[in-house]
Structure 1
């Protein structure tokens, strides 16, 4: 084997030597003709229209033809970009859904047999594990935190946002910078001190510990301020002429107009707490207090790692988010467009 390999190397070296010697000979033969053809080459260079660099270059005429064809194709199929993006984004979700319906014996095969798709994975995770309890825990925490945020937003955050948006007072810009600075602090920084405080209060493995720390946030103040800036001042000026006080203007005119911002915060808070994993995994140690993301993560350690059942749990985890977005889609888009969150 070594002799054969050595002979191949020797033959390759000889071929390379012959090739380079032939190239040098050709170069010597053509060097004498350079002076004669230099003038002609300069003239040909001036006459050339396009210098093609590899297979990707083209003349201006060819480029125009290609651009016209692309423009005609986009005009004929105006939604082709959206369709391509939808395929890219929905592809993993569709694959996860199909995987959740496949039996364990076919989970490692790339070939999908649609005749063997079954709902046994969903039945197994619901019947053999406290899946419904995890689902209920996630629902309780998400709803409690969301409702608490909305109430605090109406009572306090909206007032602070309105003051930062409409009332001129000393230190207003400084206070807004502080609000932005609080938004930039990662939640992981205050997570350990919060856990120590809650452990001293006896709120570990309780709903109080999962909900109370997240009832208010600086994001609500920022969101409401941005929304109030989008409301025309003429509405408030007309109310002032009619004799309304500042507080009545806020309570009777401005606050009812803030429904899109409140809906946006509702969606943000619900989805964030529904998908929350790090804080519930730190605070809970009992199966009965696991939220759904923490319970699904326990499949990898305490139970097993069958991907079809993991995907079945992930699909059930995603369905409430899809339902909420479909219900509040118009309000969500309107809230995003009017609060400056672009």
Structure 2
């Protein structure tokens, strides 16, 4: 008889035992994810409904229509508001990436008197609510004749304490040996910052860029206060004009909001790997 080795006999598959705690955690995560996604799905669903179907809570419309999208896109004001938001969000994002990283690099890599005090002063502004800054911002805009202008909308966010803090923390992880080697090669300090230090903190730059862009894309309170001309409205302010004292056109508001959400989703999908990497590195540094 042929002897079969014990290790050659097929062994039954062993499945890991699923614990009740794991089932509970995954169930809670699934429910939490559904709760977060449902408003977005309902927004897109309402954008496909007519005015008479808005209060029908069914997620899939009985008779979906794209007429709302045609009406919104054919409205010249909406396209102008979309362009305003794109211009403002992009400009403020580029300004933040440049100035916040420049100040963060200076505070992280240069020794000078008062550096610690300056850093604490910058951090202290994070504890001031935005609502308390609106009046000083408005008075400054009025004195400098920035009311109802693009510059008046943008100047409060051209540089932020959060961005400075984030970039300083990441620049501190850049080895000083790299910077010294660049100095020996004859690069000036600006070239060292731009060509050596900046590429090493690319994940932090990406995270700062997307947070700044999304924050300015969805900004409502300050643009509403500082602008009076419909031509200067941003998307959130412009969408609010679809409502009046007599009627609220929810189907139009949801359609505009759906169109406004698309760029933010695209930006997030393009840069999400940089955000995840930036968060991981920030956690490792902490």
TM-score range, shorter-chain basis? 0.7 to 0.9
1:256 and 1:300 mapped to 2: Cα distance?
A: 46
Q: Give the CA deviation at 1:232.
A: 4.3
C-alpha deviations, 1:26-71, integer Å up to 9, x for none? xxxxxxxxxxxxxxxxxxxxxxxxxxxxxxxxxxxxxxxxxx9861
Flag the structure with larger Rg.
1
Say which of 46, 62, 67 aligns to 1:99: 46
SS in 2 for 1:295: helix
The question of whether the paired residues in 2 share the 8 Å contact of 1:230 and 1:339 is answered with no
Q: Aligned in 2, Cα 1:326/1:202: closer, same or farther, shift over 3 Å? A: same
Question: 2:97 maps to which residue?
Answer: 150
1:262 and 1:313 mapped to 2: Cα distance?
A: 30
Q: Aligned in 2, Cα 1:114/1:108: closer, same or farther, shift over 3 Å? A: closer
Q: Give the CA deviation at 1:233.
A: 5.0
Question: 2:3 maps to which residue?
Answer: none
C-alpha deviations, 1:309-329, integer Å up to 9, x for none? 221111111111101000111
The question of whether the paired residues in 1 share the 8 Å contact of 2:92 and 2:158 is answered with yes
Say which of 245, 252, 256 aligns to 2:199: 256
- Written as runs of structure 1 = structure 2, the 5 A alignment for 1:188-267 is 188-233=131-176, 235-236=178-179, 239=181, 247=189, 249-267=192-210
Question: 1:87 maps to which residue?
Answer: 34
Q: Which runs of 5+ in 2 are unaligned?
A: 1-15
Q: Give the CA deviation at 1:299.
A: 1.8
Question: 1:118 maps to which residue?
Answer: 65
Q: Aligned in 2, Cα 1:110/1:270: closer, same or farther, shift over 3 Å? A: closer
Say which of 207, 218, 225 aligns to 1:275: 218
Higher helix proportion (structure 1 or 2): 1
Considering Cα pairs closer than 8 Å and 6+ residues apart, tell me whether 1 or 2 has the greater RCO. Answer: 2
2:194 and 2:234 mapped to 1: Cα distance?
A: 37
1:205 and 1:128 mapped to 2: Cα distance?
A: 22
1:90 and 1:112 mapped to 2: Cα distance?
A: 12
Q: Aligned in 2, Cα 1:275/1:111: closer, same or farther, shift over 3 Å? A: closer
1:139 and 1:103 mapped to 2: Cα distance?
A: 29
Q: Which runs of 5+ in 1 are unaligned?
A: 1-67
Question: 1:327 maps to which residue?
Answer: 270
Q: Which moved more, 1:303-312 or 1:92-101?
A: 303-312
Say which of 281, 300, 306 aligns to 2:243: 300
- Written as runs of structure 1 = structure 2, the 5 A alignment for 1:165-204 is 165-204=108-147
The question of whether the paired residues in 1 share the 8 Å contact of 2:42 and 2:59 is answered with no
The question of whether the paired residues in 2 share the 8 Å contact of 1:121 and 1:308 is answered with yes
1:252 and 1:110 mapped to 2: Cα distance?
A: 55
Question: 1:49 maps to which residue?
Answer: none
Q: TM-score, with normalisation over the residues of structure 2? A: 0.80
Say which of 1, 19, 34 aligns to 1:71: 19
C-alpha deviations, 1:205-246, integer Å up to 9, x for none? 221212233222222321111111233456557x38967788
Q: TM-score, with normalisation over the residues of structure 1? A: 0.68
C-alpha deviations, 1:268-303, integer Å up to 9, x for none? 211111111111100111211111100111222278
Question: 1:136 maps to which residue?
Answer: 83
2:184 and 2:73 mapped to 1: Cα distance?
A: 61
C-alpha deviations, 1:65-93, integer Å up to 9, x for none? xxx98617948x99655433321211121
Instruction: Give the alignment's Cα RMSD to 1 decimal.
Output: 3.1
